[in-house]
Amino acid sequence: MSDEVAIPTSPSQRAEAAPSLLRAGSGAVLLLLLIAFGPTFLFSDYHLFQLTMVVVYAIAILGLAILTGFNGQISLGHGAFYAIGAYVTAILMSEYDVPYWATLPVSAITCAAVGFLIGLPALRLGGLYLALTTFALAVAVPQLLKHKLLEPWTGGVQGLVIDKPDPPFGLHLSPDQWLYLFSVFVGAALFLLAWNVVRGRIGRAMMAIRDHALAAEAMGIDIAMLKTRTFALSALYTGVAGSLGAIVVQFVAPDSFGIFVSIYLFVGLVVGGVSSISGAIFGGLFIEFVPNLAEKVSKAAPGAIYGVILIAVLFLMPMGAAGFLRSIIARLRR
């Protein structure tokens, strides 16, 4: 609603405002393009792989941010949706020879449906119950994936290996370069969608539920339904991230989707900034690069460092990295 306050009153002012807005917008787009495409030709394949994983994690965390940051629901089990997305893609690619890009919509729909079903019972109740249920889901997922009934598809404990896709249209790119561009493209589309959802009518309803559920209900919002749909949307995001992750890593196995995937996504969410869309990118950078640095100390170090940083962030900058940056910028502008 606050956006409408800024609308200029006279026609001449409006004419002035539009181009500057356009200029700012196109500047931002140019910057984004530079950040997205610069690395493609400057970085080595290994670094591109890492950056692709940043994009993947950022999408997964964005899903969590929509749920936790904008709707106030806590999930400790989004690793389960990441796993489902990864497995849908892996099964479709290795068993049915479906092209990699065509698996994304399938895994999106699958994860949204599973999210809807899981959210239906848990979301009628307060925040902790969802955290508990999703925690249980995440702990149970590796066992489910290993089960012998699913083994013909999932490959059991062994997991599945998938091939790295080649760049299309005869482009002269390495597979890693193409995958990076592809992930950035998917990620940009999903970020734009999230940005629009959050700023629209649905997003305001989501935030109203977060801030005051009773008042939201009095305004005519169907709380249970909107919460469940938000959960499904959030599961969709994380599932697509899982699909991309599977394509990038070229391998899925039950034991790589334990409870710690969910916990790391949660840590990335809090560190990046809970109710911020750009925070998801900081979160993605955090969970990709911090363990790499920490593992030089010891095998156990990443977990401990994650934990310490998580608690420190909660105590010192509850709005996360994105909120912290925003407050610094606000201070500089004053």
Which residues contact another protein by CB under 8 A? 68, 72, 74, 76, 118, 121-122, 124-125, 127-129, 131-133, 135-137, 139-140, 143-144, 146-148, 214, 259, 263, 266-267, 270, 274, 298-304, 306-308, 310-311, 314-315, 318
Residue 68 or 238: the one with the smaller Cβ distance to another protein is 68
- Please answer whether residues 252 and 159 qualify as being in contact, where contact means their C-beta atoms are separated by less than 8 angstroms: yes
Distance CA(290)–CA(268), nearest Å, equals 10
Give the DSSP letter of residue 257: G
Residue 58 or 74: the one with the smaller Cβ distance to another protein is 74
Helix (H, G, I), strand (E, B) or coil at 252: strand
Backbone angles phi, psi at 187, to 5 degrees: -60, -45
Provide the minimum distance between the beta carbon of 235 and another protein in the complex, in angstroms, as a whole number: 16
Provide the minimum distance between the beta carbon of 183 and another protein in the complex, in angstroms, as a whole number: 27
Provide the minimum distance between the beta carbon of 113 and another protein in the complex, in angstroms, as a whole number: 16
Kindly give, in sequence order, each residue whose CB lies less than 8 Å from that of residue 97, ignoring residues fewer than 6 positions away: none
Distance CA(90)–CA(154), nearest Å, equals 8
Residue 18 or 312: the one with the smaller Cβ distance to another protein is 312
Residue 46 or 315: the one with the smaller Cβ distance to another protein is 315
Provide the minimum distance between the beta carbon of 296 and another protein in the complex, in angstroms, as a whole number: 14
- Please answer whether residues 103 and 94 qualify as being in contact, where contact means their C-beta atoms are separated by less than 8 angstroms: no
Kindly give, in sequence order, each residue whose CB lies less than 8 Å from that of residue 41, ignoring residues fewer than 6 positions away: 177
Provide the minimum distance between the beta carbon of 333 and another protein in the complex, in angstroms, as a whole number: 28
Residue 165 or 291: the one with the smaller Cβ distance to another protein is 291
Distance CA(234)–CA(232), nearest Å, equals 5
Give the DSSP letter of residue 166: P
Residue 137 or 206: the one with the smaller Cβ distance to another protein is 137
What residue type is assigned to position 287 of the chain?
I
- Please answer whether residues 217 and 60 qualify as being in contact, where contact means their C-beta atoms are separated by less than 8 angstroms: no
Residue 98 or 224: the one with the smaller Cβ distance to another protein is 224
Distance CA(226)–CA(206), nearest Å, equals 7
Provide the minimum distance between the beta carbon of 81 and another protein in the complex, in angstroms, as a whole number: 15
Residue 34 or 157: the one with the smaller Cβ distance to another protein is 157
- Please answer whether residues 274 and 65 qualify as being in contact, where contact means their C-beta atoms are separated by less than 8 angstroms: yes
Provide the minimum distance between the beta carbon of 214 and another protein in the complex, in angstroms, as a whole number: 6
Residue with tokens 């290994």: 46
- Please answer whether residues 39 and 47 qualify as being in contact, where contact means their C-beta atoms are separated by less than 8 angstroms: yes
Provide the minimum distance between the beta carbon of 311 and another protein in the complex, in angstroms, as a whole number: 4
